[in-house]
Amino acid sequence: DSGVTQTPKHLITATGQRVTLRCSPRSGDLSVYWYQQSLDQGLQFLIQYYNGEERAKGNILERFSAQQFPDLHSELNLSSLELGDSALYFCASSPHREIATNEKLFFGSGTQLSVL
Amino acid sequence: AQTVTQSQPEMSVQEAETVTLSCTYDTSENNYYLFWYKQPPSRQMILVIRQEAYKQQNATENRFSVNFQKAAKSFSLKISDSQLGDTAMYFCAFMKHRYLSGTYKYIFGTGTRLKVLA
């Protein structure tokens, strides 16, 4: 168990709809990263938050948005969903301290999104 | 920009044998970190091993070890005594810490699918 919690584990919805994916990082971790993994593909970096602030953006569509709350949990919002948005969405957290000695990503178990 | 290349999309190995997965990266940085993550059929991402670029000694974790060649920018993963449970997708990752901006940047390779045969 990585200590990162993602909910829900599975989500089935229709095209055009909006969904929210939730992530609770490991206790003490300040950074949250979101990744998208389409079937049999690699990890596509979407966005990173550190202590409530957006730190880096990857290939995130304008229809997608995210935020990190004061309690450090994060939500990824996907709107106007299309068939191609079907994928496994990972959240990962990291300590994000000044010294990188123990820095690493801890992944949640993912949310499998199916858009029908 | 940094890139990570895994040139072997798929590999297979007999149970109890040894297999090596390749990873090369491109960077102009001197200090960075390298990782191997495992994604079994359950699709959970699991950290296998971590290497600091400033350390010459290769990292080992039980049956898993790396061959880190900094000058060649190569970071291969060796799995000894392969087990059926090692069947998974393996991702190589590069991480750079930028002290001034306080950011960490991770770049993942496209993965190598490993199948361990009984």
Q: What is the pLDDT of residue B30?
A: 86
For a pLDDT cut of 70, what percent of chain B falls above it?
A: 100
Q: Which residue of A has its CA nearest to B55?
A: A101
Q: State the Cα–Cα distance between residues A87 and B11, nearest whole angstrom.
A: 24
Q: What is the pLDDT of residues B50-90, one digit of tens each?
A: 999 998 899 999 999 999 999 999 999 999 999 999 999 99
Contacts of B24 (CB under 8 A, 6+ apart): B4, B5, B7, B72, B73, B74, B75
Q: What is the pLDDT of residue A103?
A: 85
B117 and chain A in contact, CB less than 8 A = no
CB-based contact A98 B99, cutoff 8 Å: yes
Q: What is the pLDDT of residue A39?
A: 81
Q: What is the pLDDT of residue B56?
A: 86
For residue B37, which residues of chain A lie inside 8 Å, CB to CB?
A: 105, 107
Q: State the Cα–Cα distance between residues B52 and A100, nearest whole angstrom.
A: 10
CB-based contact A50 B95, cutoff 8 Å: no
B69 and chain A in contact, CB less than 8 A = no
Q: What is the pLDDT of residues A14-57, one digit of tens each?
A: 999 999 999 999 999 999 999 999 887 789 999 999 999 999 99
The DSSP bridge partners found for residue A47 are: A34, A57
Determine which of A48, A105, A111, A112 to mutate to test the interface with B (most B C-beta atoms within 10 Å). Answer: A105
> Chain A: nearest CA to B107, how far in angstroms?
8
Q: DSSP states of A95-108 as a string? A: ---SSGGG---EE-
Please check the confidence at residue B100 and state whether its pLDDT lies above 80.
Answer: no
SS3 sequence, B27-73?
Answer: CCCCCCEEEEEEECCCCCCEEEEEEECCCCCCCEECCEEEEEECCCC
Structure-model confidence comparison of residues B57 and A59, the more confident one: B57
Residues A75 and A85 sit within 8 Å (Cβ to Cβ): no
Q: In this structure, what token pair is assigned to residue A53?
A: 């602030």
CB-based contact A100 B104, cutoff 8 Å: yes
CB-based contact A100 B110, cutoff 8 Å: no
B109 and chain A in contact, CB less than 8 A = yes
The DSSP bridge partners found for residue A58 are: none
> Chain A: nearest CA to B117, how far in angstroms?
20
Please check the confidence at residue B1 and state whether its pLDDT lies above 80.
Answer: no
Q: How many CB atoms lie within 10 A of CB A26?
A: 18
Q: DSSP states of chain A as a string? A: --S-EEE-SEEEE-TT--EEEEEEPPTT--EEEEEEE-TT--PEEEEEEETTEEEEE-S--TTEEEEE-TTS-EEEEE-S--GGG-EEEEEEEE---SSGGG---EE---EEEEE-
Please check the confidence at residue A113 and state whether its pLDDT lies above 80.
Answer: yes
Please check the confidence at residue A87 and state whether its pLDDT lies above 90.
Answer: yes
Which string of b and e fits A78-111 if b means at least 16 CB within 10 Å? beebeeebbbbbbbbbbbbbeebeebbbbbbbbb
> Chain B: nearest CA to A108, how far in angstroms?
7
Q: What is the pLDDT of residue A95?
A: 87
Q: Fill in the amino acid letter for A25.
A: P
B103 and chain A in contact, CB less than 8 A = yes
Q: State the Cα–Cα distance between residues A48 and A34, nearest whole angstrom.
A: 6
For residue A114, which residues of chain B lie inside 8 Å, CB to CB?
A: none
DSSP B83: -
Q: What is the mean pLDDT of residues B7-13?
A: 96
Q: What is the pLDDT of residue B18?
A: 98
- Find how far residue A74's CA is from the centre of its chain: 8
CB-based contact A92 B91, cutoff 8 Å: no
